Structure 1
Amino acid sequence: MKTWMTAGAGLALAGLAAGVVYSKAARRWCLTWGATAEEATARLLGDELLADPDIKSTRAISVAVPPAAVWPWLVQMGSGRGGAYTYDWIENLFGLGMHSADEILPQYQNLSLGDVLPVGPNGPGMRVKIFEPERALAFRSVDGNWVWAFHLRPDPGGTRLISRNRIAVPDASWPSRVVNRVVMEPGSLIMERRMLLGIKERAERAAGLAAV
């Protein structure tokens, strides 16, 4: 019993220490990687699908091709489809069955409003709630706790690709909050940063541009 108590106390102290290290500035950078201040605070299409999230992230990247050349890579995303363009080996540790495609797959270009994409064998499916070609694509989990929206904004260099996540966390206990703050949020940055870079690299390569 004493060993378990000591271990528990150690974990609690480690969590508190990590929380201190993960400052407000670090958290803001983590949740808004690549986004401008305007993009991070803007009201975007899809926000209304989850009005009061516990976690909100807005991450973005510039892609040197027009929105029409980025859109197909978004449409084919998903488990058993075009993958997520991130670290497949990490995704597949959780049984998500992700295999990121390096080309546009015509058989997965027929996404429609209301379609539900699986998230691994046990995860909640993601239903297409907004489908505006070359402009906006948003999914909401069937349990209603997660909204993931992509926005394409033309700019002089090509496209600003904005990814926004809005997440409700039903478990409000402090261990859950610590795990979300110290583990899940930084982890999501690692995966989503790679995803955004993966889309950029693929779209620019398909257009015959050298990687930047």
Structure 2
Amino acid sequence: MTPVSKARAAASAAVALALHGLVLRPMMLTWGATREEAARSYPGDELIPGADSSSTMATTLPAPPSEVWPWLAQMGCDRGGWYSWDRLDNGGRPSADRIVGEWQGLEPGQRLASVPSGRAWFTVAVLVPERTLVLRADTRLPSGSPIDAFHGPPPVAFVSSVWGFHLEPAGADTRLVVRTHGRSRPRVLTRPMDVLFWEPAHFIMQTRQFHNLRARLARAA
């Protein structure tokens, strides 16, 4: 590669990075949310003090909160799935396309399997029926093994995060705001992973979940 070609490649990379940082990344992290929604604090934010990553995505669903809530209440790989790309997050098993009564019981502290094997899970951290559902996951790195809670100093390498679903009436519809809040160490390694992998992955999975929830509610109506 000639010096001119190298300079052009470096300039192209710099432009691409700037475009991602100034336009694409902010758009992904606040997809569908209003400025007010993105700026607000939500229940569950306080569970991750010193959070160094966050996103706020939102959509309007064609049903009142009382009809949206049962779909959220039955989430989990060991229950109704996650309504996203099932081959990626549910072991290929289709997510539920109906409300199942036996999956409606949800309690604070309950574990919801995040992988089909059940070796990792979310814990129900905040629960206000028809209003708020916050799921928490604490993971040791690099093993990926769950940590129930931090008692004393955290591990040297870890990820601690919440995934919150917040419902608000919007006429006959529901405004669903999904807030993530996370903290991880060592940041010199986890920040590149956040920007290059976890944030795009969350965007892809969350927008798919929005789409599938909207479709299920429309069919039910």
TM-score band w.r.t. shorter chain? 0.7 to 0.9
* Bigger Cα displacement from structure 2, 136-145 vs 58-67: 136-145
Is contact 1:78-1:98 (8 Å) kept? no
- The one-letter code of the counterpart of 2:167 is L
> Aligned pair count?
191
Is contact 1:80-1:98 (8 Å) kept? no
Tell me, in whole angstroms, the C-alpha distance in 1 between the residues paired with 2:15 and 2:99: 45
Tell me which of 153, 171, 181 is aligned to 2:168: 153
Q: Output the TM-score relative to the length of structure 1.
A: 0.82
Cα drift, residue 159 of structure 1: 0.6
CA shift digits 1:155-204 (9 cap, x unpaired) = 12411011111111212125x42232022211210110000111111122
Identity of aligned residues (%): 37
* Structure 1: stretches of 5+ with no match in the other structure: 1-13, 208-212
Tell me, in whole angstroms, the C-alpha distance in 1 between the residues paired with 2:13 and 2:112: 34
Is contact 1:75-1:108 (8 Å) kept? yes
Is contact 2:78-2:112 (8 Å) kept? no
Aligned to 1:141: 137
CA pair 78-122 structure 1, distance change in 2 beyond 3 A: closer
Tell me, in whole angstroms, the C-alpha distance in 2 between the residues paired with 1:47 and 1:83: 24
Aligned to 2:194: 180
Tell me which of 97, 118, 125 is aligned to 2:121: 125
Is contact 1:79-1:118 (8 Å) kept? yes
CA pair 53-15 structure 1, distance change in 2 beyond 3 A: farther
Aligned to 2:54: 56
> Which one has a larger percent strand, Structure 1 or Structure 2?
2
CA pair 123-148 structure 1, distance change in 2 beyond 3 A: farther
CA pair 48-97 structure 1, distance change in 2 beyond 3 A: farther
Q: Does 1:99 align with 2:94?
A: yes
* Bigger Cα displacement from structure 2, 64-73 vs 137-146: 137-146
Tell me, in whole angstroms, the C-alpha distance in 2 between the residues paired with 1:53 and 1:18: 27
Aligned to 2:26: 28
Q: Output the TM-score relative to the length of structure 2.
A: 0.78
Cα drift, residue 60 of structure 1: 0.7
CA pair 188-159 structure 1, distance change in 2 beyond 3 A: same
Tell me, in whole angstroms, the C-alpha distance in 2 between the residues paired with 1:204 and 1:130: 28
Tell me which of 116, 121, 140 is aligned to 2:111: 116
Is contact 1:15-1:178 (8 Å) kept? no
Q: Does 1:204 align with 2:218?
A: yes
